[in-house]
Chains A and B, each alone.
Chain A
């Protein structure tokens, strides 16, 4: 059975088509990555799937329950850590988890044991009795993750769990996420604007842009779908870029050339061999070549191919990460 299923899920805010008819079918137990840049519709999708927001159109089921008809049952089965860690500064970490556990119906010793266990998992035992307001950004994310797990949900939603965190805290979150998937078999719906995060964590991936899913598959499948190497050629004179693209297209074996961010991106099998031919052809055409690089296709190339532009990462004002 699919853990998350959606058909034509849509949300319009007046004129803005935040989410524009997306279909999902996510197998139980997978880490599903939802990759897209700022404003692409990731949070809005999560808010609909977690019953916080009513869709304009479309249907969805989570763990077999309809998000509209069985909202309460859905909430009982999901854990959610929203993009802005939704915490209360005045309670201590332990009080916050206790309230959360009580609202999910956990009682007595079972509740206390579960909270101890979670505090240990997210390494917050020492800080448990301090007010949440004194926590660092990384500690807050971890507490938020723990709060999402109190009731042992089968499906968890993590909205940009590492955005704004320092690399060490980020590694920490990745470790927890992997552990949840491997040890507990939890289905994880994770949004991100980081290619590396999607690549490292996701078994299955969808790329969303302007409210529509523009590519899907495993990271490996997606990269393989490009089918070639990627040669990126910068030229010294920006106005020569179009001409350079024309010249490169004519080089034997080149499949496609795309212009993005001031460079010509050349898709060609066996890039190492082709690069010399490309540079010579450009030189013959009187175009001065700058940096040239060859790479295996990355998710960024998948993104570029589907949208015509690179994925732009927008970092928020840095959160004080603290050690993970």
Chain B
């Protein structure tokens, strides 16, 4: 109980911080949408023909969602570092609130922000006629996936922040996702890749998350894809939370 209320209060605090810094949120959404528009606009029609994808716009929506979620979660690492540098983190550690719940508050806020930004991107997609094959239930599932992906990615950033206390390291940590995106099926299906890239894309969890999201938007219900995507997010979450709690233990001992 105490843990849940602590998480809740600190989530609210982080969200309030985001609301008071709207410029940053606008940047978080503008950059992925910009790349989304440019990708679709430049190679959209060729790619659709070449890869045999009818709805390349819908194919690209998950890429925008994942990169938006990752820039959101990078700011959580920076927020944690600001708290550490100002001494506010110590003030929180000096309360009887469970220490893991203190860290989880910010992470949960990132999950919530991921939901919001995902909603915006889905709406922009609909305006560009991506459609949404699985309907409202599919949207809900996509938002839920973004919530957990945002938390998992944020946990990773929080771990870097707690372990290093360095804004530079946190900013670098926030970039981890980009190579993973490029080494996945973000821009084309696996079948057209060279062998080595095909192998990397196969072991890259981002591939499965993207494919699950895509299936919801352009394919209809595909339980195997959804299960794989959920497993990938879950595995990523386990790994990142393990790092977060190890880093927290290191900082507080």
Residues of A within 8 A of B (CB): 50-52, 54, 72, 75-76, 78, 80, 82, 84-91, 95, 99-100, 102-105, 131, 147
Which residues of chain B have C-beta atoms less than 8 A from A54's C-beta?
Answer: 253
Q: Does B94 contact A (CB under 8 A)?
A: yes
Q: Does B22 contact A (CB under 8 A)?
A: no
Interface of B is mostly: helix
Which residues of chain A have C-beta atoms less than 8 A from B5's C-beta?
Answer: 102
| A86 adjacent to B95 (CB under 8 Å) | no
Contacts A86-B87, A86-B90, A87-B88 given: A104-B16 contact, CB under 8 Å? no
Residues of B within 8 A of A (CB): 2, 5-6, 9-10, 13, 16-17, 20-21, 83, 86-97, 252-253
- CB-based nearest B residue for A71: B96
| B83 adjacent to A88 (CB under 8 Å) | yes
Contacts A90-B17, A90-B20, A95-B16 given: A103-B90 contact, CB under 8 Å? no
- CB-based nearest B residue for A84: B87
CA distance A60 to B83 in the complex (A): 28
| B90 adjacent to A52 (CB under 8 Å) | yes
| A102 adjacent to B17 (CB under 8 Å) | no
Selected from A72, A88, A104, the residue in CB contact (under 8 A) with B88 is A88
CA distance A102 to B95 in the complex (A): 10
CA distance A131 to B94 in the complex (A): 22
Contacts A103-B95, A105-B96 given: A89-B13 contact, CB under 8 Å? no
Query: How far in angstroms is the closest Cβ of chain A from B175?
Result: 25
The 26 sampled A-B contact pairs (Cβ below 8 Å) are A50-B94, A52-B93, A52-B94, A54-B253, A75-B96, A82-B90, A82-B91, A84-B87, A86-B88, A86-B89, A86-B90, A87-B87, A87-B91, A89-B86, A90-B16, A90-B17, A90-B20, A90-B21, A91-B17, A99-B13, A100-B91, A102-B5, A103-B9, A103-B92, A104-B96, A147-B91
